[in-house]
């Protein structure tokens, strides 16, 4: 080995440099060709934050990014917050996202939106197939490192590890998509500065969506929480303890019609038990409609779907949650 090194020292250095440039160029190619979405934008934006800038980190799925307004959080607490949440993000991905985020930021508080524990969000072992763009985007958004490798190992079947780690294999076909390339270039140059991970819809709930749960039959079967989600919830709690971070569990409000159609009590009780097992505070907003100000009339004005709030709804919920958590702490 030593002989090989000394004989070809210059060549080895050349090879190393060649590979280094190749990796950088490949990375740039992915930047240009990747069909970007809010998840990858959120990651790109997250990595531009100054170290230690984030004091409150909000994680979870779409309920999280549609329910908490960082401006109001800042106004109420004087702290800067960041929403590292993505569509149908489960607790497994949440755990790895937090782990990755802690390499760059050290928040004093993490809020986990509790719907990330929902059984439907179990990617690898559930019914959702292994190749899911939301899961991919989360992993593709992460920088390469141990955490990313762990996330892939945990969330993909071994035969798909290469698929997960080589986004170029998935996005190279976009060389002909001028829109994708231009959108990525724009985000690189300008969009990143204007981006916010808080993106509730500005529209109100349409009559068609509202009608979905109007008069829906009651389903008594309680929702379950998968073992993998439970395990990673415990891991997340453990991680927060080790890092001396306060972890809160908050369930954002959902549309009253929907709540009444499912065995919600059974579901929220399970989450409360989980929170209690880790000694965490659990705040279920669905039990405080009046306190939040979600009157019957408001449901049509503050939601965009039976799960998601619009901007006005998010403002109200943010005020309530942070008043409840921080006032209570004080």
Provide the token pair at 63: 């309920």
For residue 178, the minimal CB distance to other proteins (Å) is 10
Q: Does 216 bind other proteins (CB under 8 A)?
A: no
Q: Does 149 bind other proteins (CB under 8 A)?
A: no
Q: Does 175 bind other proteins (CB under 8 A)?
A: yes
60 close to 103: Cβ distance less than 8 angstroms: no
70 close to 90: Cβ distance less than 8 angstroms: no
Please say which residue, 172 or 311, places its beta carbon nearer to other proteins: 172
Q: Does 170 bind other proteins (CB under 8 A)?
A: yes
Strand order through the sheet with 109-113: 81-85, 56-60, 109-113, 246-251, 281-284
CA distances from 44 to 36, 73, 98, 143, 165 (A): 10, 22, 15, 9, 17
Give the dihedral sign, CA 82/84/90/93: negative
Please say which residue, 22 or 211, places its beta carbon nearer to other proteins: 22
46 close to 84: Cβ distance less than 8 angstroms: yes
For residue 17, the minimal CB distance to other proteins (Å) is 9
HEC-encoded secondary structure of 198-244:
CCCECCCCCHHHHHHHCCCCCECCCCCCCHHHHHHHHHHHHHHHHCC
Single residue of 166, 183, 230, 323 touching other proteins by CB under 8 A: 166
266 close to 222: Cβ distance less than 8 angstroms: yes
CA distances from 311 to 12, 17, 252, 317, 323 (A): 57, 49, 13, 10, 18
Please say which residue, 6 or 297, places its beta carbon nearer to other proteins: 6
Q: How many residues bind other proteins (CB under 8 A)?
A: 23
Q: Which of residues 96-135 bind other proteins (CB under 8 A)?
A: 131
Please say which residue, 10 or 51, places its beta carbon nearer to other proteins: 10
For residue 147, the minimal CB distance to other proteins (Å) is 22
Please say which residue, 21 or 182, places its beta carbon nearer to other proteins: 21
Task: Give the torsion through C-alpha atoms of 78, 200, 232, 124, to 10 deg.
Answer: -160
For residue 6, the minimal CB distance to other proteins (Å) is 13
Single residue of 23, 24, 169, 211 touching other proteins by CB under 8 A: 169
Single residue of 24, 146, 162, 211 touching other proteins by CB under 8 A: 162
Q: Does 24 bind other proteins (CB under 8 A)?
A: no
For binding to other proteins (CB under 8 A), which residues are involved? 1, 4, 8, 11, 14, 18, 21-22, 25-26, 29, 33, 131, 162-163, 166, 168-170, 172-173, 175-176
């Amino acid at each position: 080995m030593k002989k090989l090194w000394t004989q070809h020292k210059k060549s080895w250095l050349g090879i190393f440099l060649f590979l280094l440039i190749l990796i950088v160029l490949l990375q740039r190619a992915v930047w240009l060709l990747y069909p970007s979405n809010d998840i990858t934008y959120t990651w790109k934006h997250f990595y531009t934050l100054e170290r230690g800038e984030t004091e409150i980190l909000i994680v979870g799925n779409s309920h999280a990014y549609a329910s908490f307004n960082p401006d109001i959080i800042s106004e109420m607490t004087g702290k800067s917050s960041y929403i590292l949440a993505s569509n149908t993000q489960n607790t497994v991905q949440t755990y790895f996202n937090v782990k990755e985020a802690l390499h760059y930021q050290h928040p004093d508080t993490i809020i986990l939106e509790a719907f990330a524990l929902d059984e439907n969000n179990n990617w690898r072992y559930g019914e959702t197939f292994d190749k899911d763009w939301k899961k991919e985007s989360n992993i593709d958004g992460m920088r390469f490192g141990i955490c990313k490798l762990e996330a892939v190992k945990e969330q993909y079947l071994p035969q798909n590890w290469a698929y997960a780690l080589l986004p170029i294999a998935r996005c190279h076909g976009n060389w002909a998509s001028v829109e994708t390339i231009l959108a990525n270039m724009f985000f690189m140059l300008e969009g990143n500065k204007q981006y916010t991970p808080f993106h509730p819809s500005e529209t109100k709930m349409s009559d068609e969506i509202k009608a979905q749960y109007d008069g829906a039959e009651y389903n008594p079967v309680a929702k379950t929480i998968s073992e993998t989600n439970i395990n990673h919830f415990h891991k997340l709690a453990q991680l927060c303890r080790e890092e001396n971070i306060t972890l809160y569990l908050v369930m954002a409000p959902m549309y009253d019609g929907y709540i009444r159609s499912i065995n919600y009590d059974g579901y929220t009780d399970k989450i409360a038990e989980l929170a209690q097992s880790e000694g965490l505070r659990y705040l279920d907003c669905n039990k405080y409609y009046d306190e939040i100000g979600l009157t019957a009339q408001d449901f049509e004005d503050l939601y965009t779907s039976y799960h998601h709030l619009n901007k006005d709804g998010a403002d109200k919920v943010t005020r309530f949650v942070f008043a409840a958590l921080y006032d209570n702490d004080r």
